[in-house]
Each structure stands twice: as C-alpha cells, then as structure tokens.
Structure 1
Amino acid sequence: MPKDIDQESKPAPNAPVVRLMVLETDEPHPATQDERGSFGQILHQHFAQTGAAHDPPLGIETDQVYVVGDRGGRMPAVAEFDGFDGVLVTGSRASADGDEPWIRELLGLLRELWTRRPSDLVFIGVCFGHQLLARLLGAEIRTSPSRDWELGHCAIALSPVGQRLFRTGDAAHVYLHQMHQDQVAAAPPHNELCEGDVQVWGCSAHTPVQGLYVANRLFTTQAHLAFDRAMVGRQIAMRVESGGITDRAHADRAAETAHLEHDGDVVAAAILRMFHFGDDGAEGKEMC
C-alpha cells in the first residue's frame, strides 16, 4: 500500500488550506502503484511536502477521480468542483490531440469549468494535462518534428516570466524529468476562451513550450514535477514495452539520469503561490 504522509509534510492545524481536484488520466506502473499509490496520490504527497515548507505553511487537500471511462473511470460533474481552489490534470500515455470519447468528455468538462469559474479556480496541467489545457485554449498539439522523445533529466531554459515564477534569481534554467514525444507548438492565440496573454515560462531545444502561465488562472508543465528515480525507470520501461519508444539506446541513456536531482519542488512551490501570498507573474507576453 502507498505510504502515508509523514509528519514533516503536515503543517500546523490552523494553516490555510489549498483544495485540489486531481483528474487522473492514466495509471502508474504497478510497482509504483503499490509503493506510492495513484498519480493523484503521488502528486498529493508532493504538494503536501511543498506546502509544509511554504512560508507560512499551507495545508493541502485533494480528491482524485480517475476519468478514463473505457478503463473503469468516470467523469465528475461540474458541481463536484464546488469548494475546490484548483483542478489538476495528470500525465497520460494517451495523446492529448486524440479523439477518444473520454478525452472529448474531459475537454467539455474543462471548457465548462473554465467558463463558469473565471476568477476562483486555478487550472494546472502536467505533461498530457499541459497539452490538453493548451488544446482547450486553442493551441496546436503536434508530434515532435524530429519524431524523437524528450526523455529523462533535462534542462529547461527559463523566460523572464519563468525566472520570476520560480524565484531563480540569475539562474536561467531548471532541471526536470521529461517523458513525451508530442508537444505544444506555440502559446494559444487570442480567442473566445483565451482573451488575455498566455505566457510561456520555459523552452528546450526539443520543445518550444515547456509550460504555460496565466496570472491567477493557469499553470502547466510539460515535465513531471513529482517523478522519482524508480518512477522514471519504470515509466520509460512501460513505453518501451508497449512500443511507444523504439529507440532503446535513447531510453537507456535517459534511464541512467533518473538519479539526478531535479527542481520538482521549485515548480510545486510556484504553483502553490498561485493560491496564497501573492502571484509572481509579469504582465505582457514574454517568450523564450
């Protein structure tokens, strides 16, 4: 069974609380599921630890709903988001530009929430979730032009917005674990859902849009903020075994980087600052 949250992850009883609805769009490797739980539980633990280290500390409450209908999931109703401060869409092996019924249904739900809750619900996306929210707002999702995968421990070049969001000072990069072939081609254009500027906080040689940001409303990341060494190796192995990744040498090299330190806590801290104690974004569209 997954481990309980340790005492160091628990803030004071009177700490402000951030409530997140996590929409799980896939399941982790079975060994990871046994050790750490579902993707939603893994993210809960990560944010709980980050919230406990926040100044002042934040409590984190999450509900998790597995939404892949053809594999036993269900799509929550809009009313189930009442009382939540944010919605987080997880990573998935599915393609964010796919036409599966559950993906269409999820897009419909997110569109309704985006329209109904313009000022009091923060939208967060990780990997597949990043791409799906970009698609919702009108961005193009495409396979990498080189058709290769961005895998393992990677450097992400920060735009000025990213440097402010992550409070990196003069540091121009963060380092995170990647696992994707598809990518967001460019920030969403102005349209009926996207009236303000959507800013890109980072890019890499492989991927022009590593994350999107709308002040007080949206934060996405192509990379995985909560992966650990075991998860990286197992998730890569799953994609090799399924035939998704065919370049085994590339996969092996990426797996060898799984032990390297990454900045997932820095990303989580920036996300939590969307809810409490200010917002570090900047006005105006700034690109890599």
Structure 2
Amino acid sequence: MNQLSLTNRVLLVFNSANGQPGRLGTVLRQYGYEFDIRRPGEGDELPTDLSGYHLAVVFGGPMSANDDHLDNVRAILNWLPHVVASDTLYLGICLGAQLMARHLGAEIQPHPEGLTEIGYYPVQATPVGRDLFPDEMMVYHWHSEGFDLPEGAELLATSPTFPHQAYHIDERIWGIQFHPEVDDESHERWLAQAGDKTDRPNAQCPDTQRAGRAKHDAAFGAWFEQFAAKVLVREQMASKACQSS
C-alpha cells in the first residue's frame, strides 16, 4: 500500500469561477475526504507535488480543451505531466477527460455533423467496462466536442453519437465524458446560466432535461456511488481495513 492511500485529501480543480463538486462532493465526504479546491482560471496555482493527495479531479467547463489562449486550459495542460508522473488517482470529467486525453496525444474535436449531447442520453458498456458500467444507462451530458482514445487507454463506455465515453489507463487515470457530479441544485444552476445553449443540434430543451432528471437521476446517482466505491476510494477503504485489523 503506497502512502497516497493514507491521505484523506482530494484536489478539486474547477474550470469556472462558481463550479461546485455537487454529488461527487456529497459521496466523497461520506468517506471522510477533505477538499482542496483550486480554480486556475481565477489565478489559483496547481500543486506540482501531489504526494499529499489521494485523488485529483478536474471538472468540466464551457471552453474547449483546444483553447490554448485561456489561462485555465494552459495551466492544466502544463500541470498534467506532474499528475501522470505521480501515483495519485486522477478523474477527469468532461473537459477534464478531454484535457488528459489531449495531453496523452489524442485529438479533441466536434462531432462531424455538429451534434451535441446536452441532456440525458444512453451510454453502453464495452466488454472491458462491464465490471463498472451496466449494459446501458442514461447519464447526464453537456458537451459539443469529443475525444479520441489516448494511447494505452482502455475504452469502458461508448455511445452512438460520441463513441468514446469513458476510459482508464492502468486503473489510475480515469476519464468520463458525462457529468455524475450534477445534482438537482447544480442542474438548475446550469440551466439558468446557459439555457440558451440547449437549442444546439441534438440538445434537449430544459423541460426535457428536467423530465430526464426525474426519471433517470436516482439510478445515475446510485451508479456513481458504486463507481466511487470501486474506483475512487478503493485504496482508502483498503487502508482503513488494514489499520483496523
């Protein structure tokens, strides 16, 4: 067991000034984790020594992973080599998954027909991903670009519109295209702040999204709790078991 499994600190990196951990924060707090929140777009520095963190999470944002002119995109791309060189777990959500994929040499690009996924859409498990994903489930998306699969990554989940929905590398670096952190409060905040984007091709209007949330969020949230236990807190749980034995 490495030393990182003994820390209860989680680094949360947001790409907006008002981003919140939502459901992810609720789930991780139940395991006793404490959060170090950084917002590089607002001038926060990202720690290059990650030995004090069990997990680093990079959330989504309204920008593209190709927006090199933006402070937060440049800062995260310059920081990711430190993540890859460390032993710390990494979870990239939407933009966070795309930025890691780009750092590892993959391309980030719009759908060839201009389609988006904004709302609730199905994803399917790949054969490799069936231990973590059901054969199909409805998840919440908000993106207009997708990522190619980085070299050395295994594809865990797919969908008809954007085929690369979740990947992992060596069970330490994880990327998911959708948003398990979105709870009722954050969903309503997103709709209030960016509801004008819901008229894009293939996007769902706010009322359709709310109906999707009422129908699918409970199962989506239950899935994330299981995913977190298996992937995000597994070393911490094993460490506590060793300490109590």
TM-score (norm 2): 0.81
**2:60 is matched by which residue type in structure 1?**
G
Unaligned runs of 5+ in 1: 1-15, 29-37, 53-57, 190-196, 279-288
Give distance in 2, aligned partners of 1:272 and 1:147.
36
Residues 172-191 of structure 1 aligned to structure 2 (within 5 Å): 172-184=135-147, 186-189=148-151
Q: CA contact under 8 A between 1:40 and 1:64: conserved in structure 2?
A: no
CA-to-aligned-CA distance 1:69-117 (integer Å, 9 cap, x gap)? xxx33122313x33111110011111112112331121111112312x1
State the partner residue of 1:266.
223
Deviation of 1:237 after TM superposition, in Å, equals 4.2
- Alignment of structure 1 residues 55-134 onto 2, 5 Å: 58-68=31-41, 72-79=42-49, 81-99=50-68, 100-115=70-85, 117=86, 120-134=87-101
Poorly superposed stretches of 4+, deviation over 4 Å: none
Aligned-partner Cα distance in 2 for 1:26–1:219:
21
Preserved CA contact (<8 Å) 1:224 1:264 = no
Per residue, is there more helix in 1 or in 2?
A: 2
SS in 1 for 2:72: helix
Aligned to 1:154: 121
Could you tell me which of 231, 234, 237 is aligned with 1:276?
234
| Percentage of matched positions with identical amino acids | 22
Q: Secondary structure at the match of 2:56?
A: strand
CA distance in 2, matches of 1:158, 1:41: 25
CA displacement, residues 108-143 of structure 1 (integer Å, 9 cap, x when unaligned): 11112312x1xx211111111111111111111001
Query: 1:276 and 1:83 mapped to 2: Cα distance?
Result: 17
Other-structure match for 2:159? 204
Q: How many residues align?
A: 225
Partner secondary structure for residue 264 of structure 1: helix
Offset, 1:224: 0.6
Render the CA deviation track for 1:57-76: whole Å, top value 9, x for unaligned. x33222111111xxx33122
Deviation at 1:217, TM superposition (A): 1.2
In structure 2, the CA distance between the partners of 1:247 and 1:270, relative to structure 1 (3 Å rule), is closer
Amino acid at match of 1:276: R
Residue 106 (structure 2) aligned to one of 98, 121, 139: 139
Measured at CA, do residues 217 and 102 of structure 1 come closer, stay the same or move farther in structure 2, by a change above 3 Å? same
- Considering only aligned residues, what root-mean-square deviation do their CA atoms show, in Å? 2.5
Alpha-carbon offset, residue 226 of structure 1: 1.9
1:227-238 superposed matches below 5 A: 227-238=182-193
SS at match of 2:81: helix
1:220 aligned counterpart, secondary structure: strand
